[in-house]
Every structure is written in C-alpha cells, then in structure tokens.
Chain A
Amino acid sequence: MTNDPRLTLALALADDELVLGHRHAEWTGWAPHIEEDLAFSSIAQDEMAHARLLYELIGRSDGRDVDALAFGRRPDEYRHAVLCERPNRDWGFSIARQFLYDTADAVRMEVLAESSWRELAELVGVIRLEEKYHVDHAQAWFRRLAEGPLEARQRFADGLATALAEAVAVFEPLPEEEELVSKGVLTVSSEELLALWLGQLGEALEAVSLDYVLEHHGPVGGEMVPTSTGEIEAEREALEVPGIVRRDGRWMHEGAFAGAGGRRGKHSEDFEPLWEEMTTLYREHPGATW
C-alpha cells in the first residue's frame, strides 16, 4: 500500500458503507414488515455497491483487488466508524442509527463532491443520487416514530441517545486530515462538517421536541477494546462521552469522541464477530468467485 492519504480517506468511506451495509442486511427477513425487509435489503445493497466503487478507486491506485480490500484485511485494518459495527438491537436503535449515519454521510458527501480528487468527486456524484433515498427512508421513519405512539417515540429516543455519541465520532478526523485539507481533497475540516451536521440534527430534533437527547445521551455500552495489536484483552479504555452543548443558539461538540479510534483501526468488541462472519467465505476459500 502506498502512503497516499487519499487512499486512507477512501478506505474510511468505503469501510463505513461496507460494515453498516452488513448490519442493514441482517434485517433481511426479520424487519417488522415486508416493505422494510425490502428497504433495508436495498439500502444494504446500495451501501455495499458504494463500498465497491470506492475499493475499486483504491485498487486503481495501489493495485489491490476489491475482494482483498473488502474481505482480506485484519480487523484492525478497517477504518470505519464504530457506530457502523454496532448490532442492530431493536427497531428504534436501527432507525436512529440509520438516520444519524445517513444524515452525517449526506453532509460529508456534499463536501466531497467538491473534492480536488476528481475521481472521488465523480463517484460521490453517483453515490449521492442513491443516498437520497436512504435519507428519505430515515426521515420518513423519524417522523413516524417521533410523532407516533408513546412507546414508539420512547424507543426511538432511546435509540438516538444510545447511538448519538458514536455518531459524532463518524466525524473523528483521520490522522491524515491536515494533508487532505491542504490539498483540497477535503474542502472542509471534519470539525466544520460536524458543526454543520449538529446544526441540522439540532433543528430536526427540536422540531419534534427530542432535542433533549443531545444533552442527555448515554454511552453505547460495552467496552471499547483495541484490536490494533490483535489482542482483545490489552488496554481497556473507558468510554468518554462527548459533550454536546448549546451555545448562542447553536449545538456544538466539545471534548473527546466516544468510540474514537475507528478511523485508526480501533474497534469495539462487536466488530470481531461481524468481521468473522463477513469474511468467512473469503478466508476459507481463497480465490473463490461468486
């Protein structure tokens, strides 16, 4: 692998889509009704296709094979946000996560469409046209649950509170960010993107009086475990809950990122079982085509 920081960025984007795509696909056959089986299956199919486009882009630069990129890496080589690897839990959490991720993704994609890396910008142009339907799906369910009966609203609020801290960490900067910004690959810093997204999120939540979750959200639960050394037991870290505060009428992020480390290959205990499952075929039958 070359040391081109652009490839790390593409990898982070691709891994987000691949890993969350796998979680979405777990709803296939189990969603509350058949339209949602189709919706989550379709969204999963889109996300994995977007991951493939980005892996192909990386492969054109460093010669790596798409399957090797998607399935041939160790867990600590994946750069996705920890949010994407968390299990689906209940419908409230799944919808909350999909809403938080896809609205965050939309903010970042809007900026990447202006990237100086023309090939990436082109792919983003294609991806955005499809992602709109994901945001629509999330927004339709946002309204349905937030304005729904008490239990629906409560479970959605719980899902938001659970997912929120790690959704903020979708914007955890890559170690290479400074170089990416200076070269115009990223035209806006992660910090500014996060502020943009928090502003939109705050408005959406205020409109349904759920903005209290911004100030009173909890950790996702479960210990963060480093996998960078391959040893699951080493160096346990307490989850730091990031502060989201309202100042001068604006929602702002302060302090650390919860679940930080995803962008550096550090993942939670929830990733390894998912990784094992999604890479089984590739590992057990090297060179297989399907």
Chain B
Amino acid sequence: MSAAQERDALELRVLEALATVRDPEIPPVSITDLGIVEHVRVSEAAVEIDLLPTFAGCPALDVIREEAERAARREAGSRVVSVRFVYSPPWTSDRITPAGREALRSYGLTPPGGHDRRTFVALASLGRAEGIAPCPYCGSEDTVLESAFGPTLCRTTHFCRSCRNPFEAFKPKLPGS
C-alpha cells in the first residue's frame, strides 16, 4: 500500500470510529449522523479532526470532543490526534443524515422540520403553531407548539392532541431569514 493509500484507509477507519461517538444528550445519534464532523485530515504524523458545534452553548461539546479524540486515537497508532471545533461553515440542522433523523425519532424527538422557519415563527407568535412538528410517538400532525425553547438549547417543546403526549422536537437551525 502506498503512503497515500494508507492515509486514505486510516481516514476511513477514523470516520468509522467517529461514527461510534454519541451525543450524550441524544444517545442514539452518532456525531457523524448529526453532521458535525466537518473534516478528518490524516498526515504523516497527525490526525486532525474539525467538528462543528450544533449550538454554541451546548454543554455536551467538551464531552463530544474528548470522546472523538479517544475514538480516533484507537485507530491513529503513533500519529498525534487533535480535535477542534471550527465555526465555518455554520452547522445547520439540514446536515443531519436520514439515519440521524430516524435515530432522533426513535428517541422520541421529532427531527428538525424542513419547513420554512418563518412559518414556524409566524405561527408561534400568533399562538397558533399547529401541525408544525409531527408527533414522534403516534405520527399525528394534530400537534401544537408549546415553546421554541426546551430542556436543551437544541429542542423545542410540543403537545400532541391525538395521543395526548407532550413531546420535543430538534430545533430547526437553517440559513436565511
């Protein structure tokens, strides 16, 4: 194997290792499915990983960085592993993969809507934010937004009028105004 091939192979193994790292606030979702792994760079002596924070104030970021470092180190051999957060491009919720969306749903969190954020807000300000997030439990669209804020920075809170469960959804974070 040439040096370049070896580096490519290692990059893949590191990515696979990162796919085992979970967001501690949403354990079923891996950080690769969350779309926060922006770059893995393998060089002669180092493995450098760039992550994008979901929300700047997310308290799980340090844990994620440590776990990512530990996972990469298992593959990196003698190479030095460094993990850092970068801010460009900004992370947006449309980076979550289909598998990540399914994992969110399985955890009882409605995946972030592809709906226009302005609709979301306009409805919310009128107190008529209905049907903007389907219920993760029964699938009903007969739901109402309780608040654009929730127990963590990345969640909104809702109520399902069909199965009468309160539930949470992943907060949409999309570009454009």
Chain A positions near chain B (C-beta within 8 angstroms): 35, 38-39, 41-43, 45-46, 48-50, 52-53, 122-123, 125-127, 129-130, 132-133, 136-137, 139-140, 143-144
Contact = CB atoms under 8 A, between A and B. Distances in A.
A48 B151 CA distance: 17
Nearest to A122: B88
At the interface, is chain A mostly helix, strand, loop or mixed? helix
Interface residues of B, number: 30
A274 B108 CA distance: 40
A274 B52 CA distance: 33
A53 to B, nearest CB: 6
B148 A137 contact: yes
A45 B90 contact: no
Q: Which of A39, A41, A45 has the most chain B CB atoms closer than 10 A to its own CB? A: A45
A120 B2 CA distance: 41
Given A53-B56, A130-B153, A132-B177, 6 more contacts: A38-B149, A39-B149, A45-B57, A52-B56, A53-B87, A136-B121
4 tightest A-B CB contacts, nearest first: A49-B57, A140-B125, A49-B56, A35-B147
Nearest to A37: B149
B55 A46 contact: yes
A49 B149 CA distance: 16
Nearest to B92: A129
A179 to B, nearest CB: 25
A122 B148 contact: no
A49 B55 contact: yes
A143 B173 CA distance: 23
B95 interface: no
A136 B148 contact: yes
Contacts of B117: 132
B131 interface: no
Contacts of B171: 133
B28 interface: no
B153 A129 contact: no
A123 B153 CA distance: 18
Interface string B30-53: 000000000000000000000001
Contacts of B91: 126
Contacts of B56: 46, 49-50, 52-53, 126-127, 130
B87 A126 contact: yes
B124 interface: yes
B143 interface: no
Q: Which of A132, A133, A144 has the most chain B CB atoms closer than 10 A to its own CB? A: A133
Contact of B153 (A35, A45, A53): A45
Contact of A129 (B125, B148, B173): B173
Given A45-B57, A130-B173, A139 B149 contact: no
Nearest to A38: B149
B33 to A, nearest CB: 20
Contacts of A52: 56
A123 B148 contact: no
A46 B153 contact: yes
Contact of B151 (A38, A39, A49, A132): A38
B86 to A, nearest CB: 8
Contacts of A140: 121, 124-125
Nearest to B120: A136
Given A35-B149, A129-B175, A136-B148, A123 B87 contact: yes
B157 A35 contact: yes
Interface in B148-177: 148-151, 153, 157, 171, 173-175, 177
A35 B91 CA distance: 26
Nearest to B147: A35
A39 B153 CA distance: 9
A125 to B, nearest CB: 5
A41 B153 CA distance: 9
B146 interface: yes
Contacts of B148: 39, 133, 136-137
Q: Which of B57, B58, B87, B151 has the most chain A CB atoms closer than 10 A to its own CB? A: B57
Contacts of B174: 129
Nearest to B175: A129
A97 to B, nearest CB: 18
Contacts of B157: 35, 38
A139 B122 CA distance: 10
